[in-house]
Chains A and B, each alone.
Chain A
Amino acid sequence: DTGVSQDPRHKITKRGQNVTFRCDPISEHNRLYWYRQTLGQGPEFLTYFQNEAQLEKSRLLSDRFSAERPKGSFSTLEIQRTEQGDSAMYLCASSLVTTWSGNVLTFGAGSRLTVL
């Protein structure tokens, strides 16, 4: 297990289509995070899971976005009825947390979404 894997790396879709991204975290990590990064900006938090429980969602995560982590392992991020403003890099990260300790996130390479 060499790191956080994301698939697909690139996705081009037409406005109105649904897209799904998958993230496989480091296997021993119990937390999984989704961030979004637009060009020239820093990553923005979307949501995170501890095991299979989704513990926090950002206001950025509109009703068209849904994330799941059904068995506490991999996670999916689905965007329904995509809009051009959804074009961004979607980053997944994972961490091992036992107590709150400013945990270090390990990021994947990201899934770049382009909505035409």
Chain B
Amino acid sequence: AQKVTQAQTEISVVEKEDVTLDCVYETRDTTYYLFWYKQPPSGELVFLIRRNSFDEQNEISGRYSWNFQKSTSSFNFTITASQVVDSAVYFCALATSGSRLTFGEGTQLTVNP
């Protein structure tokens, strides 16, 4: 069985602060993919990143960066210099040999001006 845990239910920061969203996953499969999606107040889930289990290189995209560590089964997401527009619910998700995505419960990020 697959499981994704996002221990932080809510995070509140002030604009320009850095913030890290934690994600821990469980799977017995050796081949899997990890994802982050953003769900703004409008409700539509927006894809942010996909990583496969064989690629532990960290990735940076603008203000966003991701740290994948198989040793701790974690795939954490950092937003640098947060902005009000980053306010949303962020979901970490896992896909293994099947097609379904298993999502975590999400972290509500609020960035205050």
A residues touching B (Cβ–Cβ < 8 Å)? 31, 33, 40-45, 48, 55-56, 58, 89, 91, 93, 97, 100, 102-110
A102, B44: Cβ atoms closer than 8 Å: no
Nearest-Cβ distance from residue A106 to partner chain B, whole angstroms? 7
A104, B99: Cβ atoms closer than 8 Å: no
Nearest-Cβ distance from residue B69 to partner chain A, whole angstroms? 18
Q: B residues within 8 A CB of A103?
A: 95, 99
Chain B: interface size category: 20 to 34
Cβ-neighbour of B101 out of A45, A56, A106 (below 8 A): A45
Report the bound CA distance from A58 to B98 in whole Å.
12
B residues 15-67 in Cβ contact with A at 8 Å = 32-33, 35, 37, 42-47, 50, 52
| Residue in B32, B35, B99 with the greatest tally of chain A CB atoms within 10 Å | B99
Cβ-neighbour of B44 out of A55, A100, A108 (below 8 A): A108
A110, B43: Cβ atoms closer than 8 Å: yes
15 extra interchain contacts, Cβ-Cβ under 8 A, other than A43-B101, A107-B44, A108-B44?
A40-B105, A40-B106, A41-B106, A42-B104, A43-B91, A45-B102, A48-B100, A56-B98, A58-B100, A91-B45, A100-B97, A100-B99, A102-B33, A102-B35, A107-B45
